[in-house]
Amino acid sequence: MIRPLLFLLPPETAHHAALAALRLARRTRLTSLVVGRDLLVESPRLQQRVAGIEFGNPVGLGAGFDKNAKCFVDMAAVGFGFVEVGTVTALAQPGNPKPRLFRLPADRALINRMGFNNDGAAAVAKRLQATPSPVPLGVNLGRSKVRSNDEATDDYLESLEQLWMYASYLTINVSSPNTPELRALQAPERLVPLL
């Protein structure tokens, strides 16, 4: 029922509409009425302990859905055992020009050329400080587009210093094809010093 309505909108607009609906549902307490407890499965069989982190269940939401830490609590409310926000860069950035998200209906897929659009580490840190996560929270860190790979370590550290205290774990993103030269950081001579 909702999918056909969302498909009337451009993909990125549909994504923003979904985020807004989640936030509205939390504010009006509709999440518990619509979802109830059906998706909130609690079972010792599903619990996992990984790297000292307790996961209520092993199904999580990866980075990209909630880039700016605006609805991670809502994702926990619908049953995710962990949520990863981001990708977050040290500096706020608009990402690539629109359109940058494309549907492939026959393949039931999307092409993502977003380019790390996000509000920046300082804004995300304020949101995370204001709302503790009810589930383990990952923060995905990327390099700011306006900074070169030679500045990457300082750029990642700038984000890290603002966000580490809110994260259960951190992901260092060096794989996006949408940030110029970012994947060059995967080379051992670049990656080892970065980590």
CATH code where residue 58 lies: 3.20.20.70
pLDDT tens for residues 95-142? Answer: 989 898 888 889 988 888 888 999 999 999 999 999 999 999 999 999
Nearest one of 107, 91, 188 to 142, comparing CA atoms: 91
pLDDT tens for residues 133-177? Answer: 999 999 999 999 999 999 999 999 999 999 999 999 999 999 988
pLDDT at 31 over 60: no
- Distance from chain centroid for Cα 114: 13
Amino acid 191: pLDDT: 94
> What residue ranges in 60-142 does DSSP mark as E strands?
60-61, 82-89, 101-104, 109-112, 137-142
- The domain total for the chain is 1
Q: Which residue has the higher pLDDT, 140 or 24?
A: 140
Q: Which residues are catalytic?
A: 176
As a whole number of angstroms, the distance between CA 19 and CA 129 comes to: 20
Expressed as residue numbers, the domain containing 180 is: 2-194
pLDDT at 37 over 60: no
Amino acid 110: pLDDT: 83
pLDDT at 42 over 80: no
Tell me the pLDDT band of 185, cut-offs 50, 70 and 90: very high
By the 8 A CB rule, do 13 and 60 touch? no
Q: Give the number of residues written for the chain.
A: 195
Collapse the DSSP code of 131 into the 3-class scheme (helix H, G, I; strand E, B; otherwise coil) and give the result. coil
